Amino acid sequence: MVGGGQLARMMIPAAIELGIEIKVLGETPESSARLAVSEVGDYRDSATVLAFAEGVDVITFDHEHVPQPILRELVARGVQVRPGPHALLYAQDKLLMRERLGQLGLPVPDWARVSDAGELAEFLADHDGRAVVKTPRGGYDGKGVRVVSSASEVADWFDAAGGDLLVEELVEFRRELAQLVARRPSGEIAAWPLVETVQRGGVCAEVLAPAPRSAGSLSDTASDIAYRVAEGLDVTGVLAVELFETTDDRVLVNELAMRPHNSGHWTIDGSTTSQFEQHLRAVLDLPLGATGCRDTWSVMVNILGGPATGTLADRYPRVLADQPTAKVHNYGKDPRPGRKVGHVTVGGDDLDEVVYQARAAAAAFD
């Protein structure tokens, strides 16, 4: 696995249980996934990644940032890269993603490729004077995304980027949803139940599984979209499709991630097969596991930032005593404002109660 963040960390338990040897190329020896870090180095350095890939059966990823030339060199050398560079391209470049999803006939917000302030102003004029501008590459957790009403608000991006920007209509949405699926090279796909995601400041804050008030047709629409993306882009491993449920009852694709995703952390405790186990099965082309919910409701709340002083573990005596059913996941990262340092999942039959407990447990780490 290239990248040693919390996604790699949470892959380790799944690998241990299935008896799969996992090695991680970490950024530092103190990476979140440090227990499995076998090499430390820069994933943007070709020699580092190629050396790491020697002797492994499959290369997969904690993030989508490994440069295309390195991915293609791995493939040229016969390494199994999953997802492959031809798929990852669409998770790396939002302009290419929008173009490709359009070709596949998938529902997306109105969008345009804009090269300068004039083109952006034109798009704004056609969309009630407001729009979302995104840098095609490198954005995550709200970075590289701005809501603007004037082209001057992204003048720095036009100056610096040296490339085109993506502009999209400001979608009026009722809520955000996420559809996770996993796909094997041999074609098998399995979908988890549709979930509702709550974002705060561009960062995932909460996930409700399954998405409340998601009638059969909404679930069907979402899983149909995710199947078409997975097949159309030849994704292997876990694919997260972030969706808008619009106020006029449409479902539009917002973003894609080709790896385990924050919207799927609930599956560790709440589904028969976690997204981490499923990702391993999928990239190793093993049969996929059952994806049903283990509880009527599962609610995941991120621990963002953590305590101003001390560690998450300092709060355990109180949190674990107050919430004996809460599953606490601690990423082993130093607390820092806004940083994803852990999450809590609670399951149960009463949604209001489950939400309350999960929020209370997560808040106790503030």
Instruction: Check the annotation: does 254 bind a ligand.
Output: yes
Give the Cα separation of 136 and 116 in Å (integer).
14
Q: Output the furthest CA–CA distance in the chain (Å, rounded).
A: 59
Residue 78 or 317 with smaller CB distance to its own copies: 317
DSSP SS3 for 189 = strand
Give the Cα separation of 79 and 46 in Å (integer).
14
Per CB under 8 A, which region of 13-21, 59-67, 132-140, 157-165 contacts its own copies?
13-21
Q: C-beta of 60: minimal distance to its own copies in Å?
A: 17
Instruction: Check the annotation: does 134 bind a ligand.
Output: yes
Out of 13, 102, 129, 212, the only residue in the binding site for its own copies (CB under 8 A) is 13
Q: Where are the alpha helices (DSSP H) in 115-173?
A: 117-126, 155-161
* 304, 359 Cβ separation under 8 angstroms: no
Task: Mark 18-57 with x for binding to its own copies (rule: CB under 8 A) and - for no binding.
Answer: xxxx-------------xx---------------------
Give the Cα separation of 185 and 82 in Å (integer).
8
Out of 316, 339, 359, 360, the only residue in the binding site for its own copies (CB under 8 A) is 316
Q: Does 281 bind its own copies (CB under 8 A)?
A: yes
Q: Does 363 bind its own copies (CB under 8 A)?
A: no
Range list of β-strands (E), 258-338: 297-304, 327-330
Q: C-beta of 84: minimal distance to its own copies in Å?
A: 21
Instruction: Check the annotation: does 169 bind a ligand.
Output: yes
Tell me the helix, strand and coil percentages in the chain, rounded to 5: 35, 25, 40
Out of 139, 140, 272, 339, the only residue in the binding site for its own copies (CB under 8 A) is 272
User: How distant is the alpha carbon of residue 235 from its chain centre?
Assistant: 14
Residue 259 or 281 with smaller CB distance to its own copies: 281
| Binding region for its own copies (CB under 8 A) | 9-10, 12-13, 16-21, 35-36, 268, 272-273, 281, 286-290, 294, 312-313, 316-317, 320-321, 324-325, 327-332, 342
